[in-house]
Amino acid sequence: MKDIIRSIASLPRRQKQIVLVLMDICVLPFMMWLAYAIRLARPNVEVMQGLDGWYLYVGIFGILIFALLGIYSAIVRSFNEDYLLRISIGTFVQIVALYAIKKLDVAFIPMSIPLMYGFMLFSYMWWSRAVIRYATIKTFAKKQTRKRVAIYGAGLAGQQIAAALNRSDDYLPVCFIDDKKSLQGQSLSGLKIYAPKRAATKFGKFAIEEVLLAMPSVGRARKKEIIESFDSADVKIMELPGVTQLVDGQVHVSDIREVDIIDLLGRDPVPPKPELLEKNIKDKVVMVTGAGGSIGSELCRQIVKNQPKLLVLFEMSEYALYSIDRELQSSGIQVIPILGSVTNQAKLERIIAQYQVQTVYHAAAYKHVPLVEANPFEGIYNTSIGTARSVDAAVNQGVETFVLISTDKAVRPTNVMGASKRMAELYCQGLAATSPKTQISIVRFGNVLGSSGSVVPLFKKQIAQGGPVTVTHPEVTRYFMTIPEAAQLVIQAGAMGTGGDVFLLDMGEPVKIVDLAKQMIRLSGFRPMDENGTGDIAIQFTGLRPGEKLYEELLIDHEEVQTTGHERILKSFEKHASLDMLQPIFRQLDNIKEDQKNLEWLLNQLEYFVDGYNCRKSVHIH
């Protein structure tokens, strides 16, 4: 039997349609005879008396109606509500046609025959297609076991994905979970709806492997609560994308994805203020240094959305520059890719003058703490000297706005990377006091999710390999923000500056890295291993790396801070050195030779100028 089904299913589309038409054209007259036989209670009946060749009329007319409604052009395996509606309309048209024939006395038709024929016709069309679909699915079904899924959310999205999963070879919907008490205990699409707590007790009994969040419009805070409520269950959490990503309003199996780690933040982004986004960008020439980096590239994406006159990409890495340039070519904005280092002030000034740059976002810097700790001279040169030359170039060429992208690691740093960034901040603050024509601002924030070197991709890779997941210390805590939100806030903060401002982005609540690791393990459907060795994936503590802090902070002086017109942006007032004090030091840093004696001098200068920094004897030259 399976061979016959396979041979028919392998026919060209046109031939399969012909098979269906031939089948229907034979069955429709038979059902008309059956209606008369049942009505008159005898098999030997004269059907549609007065109309010779009635069977041709019944068969051909029925086929034409169904053909016009697209019954034969639809794929039987996609049997759904729309298909049933078309069958219903076709059946109704034929019932009306039979009554019209009776009314016109074309043929003898008892009053009950049209309804009886219509009922049998609809039943045949429905069940014949359902049987074809069932037989085809069973014949071609994959041999592997389908994943058993509980769907959280019995709304429209949940119903659509349940129907899609039933048609798939990979998933089997088992039940719904919903918070609404009015729905709990009811059945929907043949699946029972459970309360969240009751459903959790059924996971083992029903052998549920995954929970699918089918709530495209729910906020991050609520989604985080739901995810955490399944912490004790050995299930993988999946989700459907947001409503803005479901463009056609339909849900498909291909839409299912892993829960975005962003949702672990539990914080919904604040809508940006258009006037702040546009102030330094719209119809202006904008340059981004470090344009190929995590923050730099996202800044570029946000900038082109706000219609600059021209965007200059300044980047040291050839591949990073190539990638962001290629991505932005379809934006409709003229993009100029420039390969170069921010330590080359002459080139910076030439580019700024050539394209008449009005706004500069300086994102170029080294950011990996252990690497900079092992290469202190390069760290100082690229971050501190590079920033000084960039802001000097901007001031010399009359740039209107210069925004330095800084980091929370610049606050009371324990490493060269943070100290070099604070030196860059001090230089910008000092220069801002003497250069009123160029508005210089500093925007400071913490870690961004998904950036190069972030713990998130590292943890994902380690979990996929079966562990262990490596965390430096049980108490290490960091602030996190998504890259798009950080880039938008940087642009808005830069538009609020008046000169020498230090803006702080509200990073939300700090997150323990070990908690982040445990949550990611649970989302993957595994259990973190406890002290007794019970669980699936171990968490291994490797010890703090050179220069690494347990806690990061955004403020040097918690009292000298004020709110701004944006709820996620604060303004800090911090002491800073004069430009006259800093310029000689920067000139010496520029010309310093790499040896142990000069390393000691370098660290002493960082200790003198940067609050909270202490010389570390462990720092050495590579």
- Do 124 and 9 have their domain in common? yes
Q: What's the pTM?
A: 0.67
Q: Are residues 318 and 177 in the same domain?
A: no
Distance CA 379, CA 168 (A): 53
User: Residue 264: its pLDDT value, please?
Assistant: 66
Find all residues with CB under 8 Å of 437, minimum gap 6, and list them.
395, 398
- Top pLDDT among 178 and 252 is at 178
Residue 325 backbone phi and psi in degrees, to 5: -65, -45
To the nearest whole number, what is the mean pLDDT of the chain?
A: 84
Is the same domain home to 194 and 244?
Answer: yes
Cα distances from 402 to residues 97, 339, 573, in angstroms, run 78, 20, 18
Where is pLDDT greater, at 301 or 452?
301
* Residue 245 sits in the same domain as residue 325: no
Confidence (pLDDT) at 244: 45
Query: Both 478 and 337 in a single domain?
Result: yes
Q: DSSP H helical segments within 397-466, as ranges?
A: 416-432, 455-464
Same domain, 520 and 599: yes
Cα gap 52→451, rounded to integer Å: 79
Instruction: Check whether residue 30 and residue 136 sit in a common domain.
Output: yes
pLDDT band at 554 (very low <50, low <70, confident <90, very high): low
Select from 434, 435, 407 the least CA-distant residue to 422. 407
State how far the Cα of 622 lies from the Cα of 616, in Å rounded to an integer: 15
pLDDT in tens, 97-129: 999 988 888 888 888 899 999 999 999 888 887
Q: 13 lies in which domain range?
A: 2-140
Same domain, 200 and 120: no
Tell me, what's the pLDDT at 247? 45
Residue 70 has a CB neighbour count (10 Å cut-off) of: 12
Query: Do residues 113 and 220 share a domain?
Result: no
CA 278/CA 283 separation, integer angstroms: 9
Query: How many domains does the chain divide into?
Result: 3
Contact 139, 128 (CB under 8 A): no
235, 259, 283 - which closes a domain: 259
* Domain boundary pick from 259, 285, 312: 259
Residue 37 three-state SS: helix
Token reading at 178: 């919903």
pLDDT in tens, 441-475: 999 887 777 666 677 778 888 888 888 999 988 88
Closest CA to 199 of 217, 218, 174: 174
CA distances from residue 563 to 296, 502, 553 in whole angstroms, order as listed:
26, 12, 17
Per-residue exposure over 157-166, b if at least 16 CB sit within 10 Å of its own CB, e if not = bbbbbbebbe
* 615 found inside a domain: no
CB distance 447 to 481 below 8 Å: yes
The answer to whether residue 33 scores a pLDDT higher than 80 is yes
> What band does 492 get if pLDDT is binned at 50, 70 and 90?
very high
- 540, 610, 617: which is closest to 575 by C-alpha? 610
Q: Give a yes or no: residue 451 inside a domain.
A: yes
Whether residues 32 and 8 share a domain: the answer is yes
pLDDT number for residue 441:
93
Q: Specify if 488 maps to a domain.
A: yes
- The label of the residue with tokens 């006159």 reads 309
pLDDT of residue 484: 85
Selection from 81, 83, 33, 82 nearest residue 54 by Cα: 33
> Which two three-digit tokens encode residue 440?
């210089």
Which among 103, 121, 140 is the end of a domain? 140
User: Cβ distance 368 to 409 under 8 Å?
Assistant: no
* 558 Cβ neighbours under 8 A, 6+ residues apart: none
Judge whether 169 lies within some domain. yes
For the CA atoms of 458, 462, 463, 467, the dihedral, rounded to the nearest 10 degrees, stands at: -140
Average pLDDT over residues 253-264: 68
Report yes or no on 249 lying in a domain.
yes
**CB contact set of 445 (below 8 Å; sequence gap of 6+):** 406, 407, 408, 479, 481, 486, 489, 490, 504, 505, 507, 554
Residue 331 CB-half CA count within 13 A: 22
- For 404, what's the count of Cα atoms within 13 Å in the CB-facing half-sphere? 37
Active site members: 409
Helix, strand, coil shares of the chain, percent, nearest 5, are 50, 15, 35
Please give the distance of CA 528 from its chain centroid, rounded to a whole number: 25
CA 523 and chain centroid, separation: 15
> Looking at this protein, which amino acid is placed at residue 295?
I
Q: What are the backbone dihedrals phi and psi of residue 85, each rounded to the nearest 5 degrees, phi first?
A: -65, -40
Q: Which of 47-61, 247-261, 334-348, 549-563 has the highest mean pLDDT?
A: 334-348
Whether 100 maps to a domain, the answer reads yes
**Quick one: which of 204, 203, 211, 199 has its CA closest to 258?**
211
Of the pLDDT bands very low, low, confident and very high (cuts 50, 70, 90), residue 94 is: very high
If we measure between CA atoms, which residue out of 619, 475, 605 comes closest to residue 549?
475
Euclidean distance between CA atoms 610 and 494, whole angstroms: 24
Average pLDDT over residues 503-518: 83
Question: Distance from first CA to last CA of the chain, Å, rounded?
Answer: 73
* Torsion of the alpha carbons at 372, 378, 379 and 381, rounded to the nearest 10: 180
Q: Are residues 387 and 523 in the same domain?
A: yes
Cα 498–Cα 499–Cα 505 angle in degrees, nearest 5:
75
Contact status, residue 500 vs residue 536, Cβ threshold 8 Å: no
Contact, 537 vs 467, CB < 8 A?
A: yes
* Cβ–Cβ < 8 Å for 408, 445: yes
For the residues 347-355, what does the mean pLDDT come to? 97
Q: What is the mean pLDDT of residues 409-436?
A: 88
Higher pLDDT, 162 or 507: 162
Rounded Cα–Cα distance for residues 475 and 362 (Å): 32
Longest dimension (CA), the chain: 116
Helix (H) or strand (E) holding 493: helix 483-496
Contact yes or no for 344/368 (Cβ under 8 A): no
| Adjacent-strand bridge partners of 150 | 175, 211
- Residues 389, 489, single domain; the answer is yes
pLDDT of 595 > 80? The answer is no
Q: How is residue 102 written in tokens?
A: 């009776």
- How many Cβ atoms from other residues are within 10 Å of residue 551's Cβ? 11
Of the two residues 376 and 616, the one the predictor is more confident about is 376
Please give the structure tokens belonging to residue 503. Answer: 């803006």
pLDDT at 252: 64
Look at 499 and 251; give whichever has higher pLDDT.
Answer: 499
Asked if the model's pLDDT at residue 404 lies above 90, the reply is yes
Residue 598 lies in a domain: yes
Band of residue 245 on the pLDDT scale cut at 50, 70, 90 = very low
Domain assignment of residue 621, yes or no: no
Does residue 599 carry a pLDDT above 50? yes
- The CATH number of whichever domain residue 192 belongs to comes to 3.40.50.720
CA distance 223 to 217: 10
Which strands, in side-by-side order, build the sheet including 569-572? Answer: 335-339, 310-315, 285-289, 359-362, 401-407, 439-445, 501-505, 569-572, 561-563
